[in-house]
Amino acid sequence: MMIKTLPEPHLNTTSATLVIAASAVCFGLMPLFVRELQGLGTGPATIALYRYGFSALFLLPFLPLQREKWGGALLLMGAGCVFSLSLIGYLEALGSAPVAAAGVVYMSYPVFAALFAWVLLRQALSWRSFAAAGLVIAAAGMLLDPAMLSPEVFKALVWAIPAPVAFGFLVVVLSGLAGQLNSLERTASGLTGSIIGLLPLALQEGQGSVLPASAGAWGLVLVMGLLTALIPQLIFTFACQRVGPVRTAAAGSFELPTMFLVGWWGFGEALGIREILSALLVLTAILVAPAIGAKPQEPGRAAPAG
């Protein structure tokens, strides 16, 4: 009989928050792989497919097949599909705009997570929710240098806006709307939806082929899949259920200081007082954000209020 889950360690609010922050660091390493693959002529849809494809194949045995779990699985597949398609604009922005500028746009997702939690989970928009979202936006805004906004960069950043909206929605679905699905089933469903959305576009980009063309590209794909998708996505999915969408979004914002460190170390972008202050604001947002754990949804019941 196939094992459909793995033992999940107990995490309190503090340890779950730290786990989410650690996974955000892994997510923040994406620009390193994106620019390497773009340098090899790989398109954004194909890069996104590479990121999630390996993980989706690995987790395919954990797709939920029980009828009572179909609703949560389909919702997560839809959210994963929408997010993966929106990610294409963000990946294009990483190729043409400074990493910090693209991070400014992407790190607006805590605002959308709080709004979706309010609409879909009926979680009140408390002063702590507003404060956490405001601190993250302030941290991101500190990194945006108006001198960087050429027409081409501005256009790229505008096309990146759907990514934080879709990721905010995905955070809420993962943390509070996935019903009876365990962490492996949630991750498998979301990643499968991503592949469904990306595969046709990647095939179009590659003129019918999506396989890496060299051993070096295969190595990049493997490391990117493990380090920025499979491992962090699993621990992120498990931990976010312990603290709810608002704290998840705030802790996930630790991706922003990671991104400007990557921009400084990998691409020679500036790292100064603004970046340091931005990191401090993100850490403050994590401490301020309320933690509202998600409750399992019982069969036949609507999603619980927060």
Q: 269 in helix, strand or coil?
A: coil
Q: What is the pLDDT of residues 158-187, one digit of tens each?
A: 889 899 899 889 988 887 787 788 888 888
User: Percentage of the chain with pLDDT > 70?
Assistant: 90
Amino acid (one-letter) located at 246 = V
Residue 188 has pLDDT above 70, yes or no: yes
Task: Tell whether the torsion through CA atoms of 255, 261, 263 and 269 is positive or negative.
Answer: positive
Neighbouring CB atoms inside 10 A of 169's CB total 25
Q: How far apart are CA 7 and CA 238, in angstroms?
A: 11
Q: Is the pLDDT of residue 81 over 90?
A: yes
Cβ contacts of 228 within 8 Å, gap of 6 or more: 26, 27, 29, 30, 33, 51
Q: Choose among 16, 30, 69: nearest CA to 175.
A: 16
CA distance 170 to 205: 26
**Local confidence band at 306 (pLDDT 50, 70, 90 cut-offs):** very low
Interval 201-220 mean pLDDT: 87
What is the mean predicted confidence (pLDDT) over 276-294? 72
| pTM for the structure as a whole | 0.76
Give the start-to-end residue ranges of the domains of the chain: 13-288
Q: Is the pLDDT of residue 102 over 60?
A: yes
Which amino acid makes up residue 118? W
Taking the C-alpha atoms of residue 175 and residue 134, their distance in angstroms, rounded to an integer, is: 21
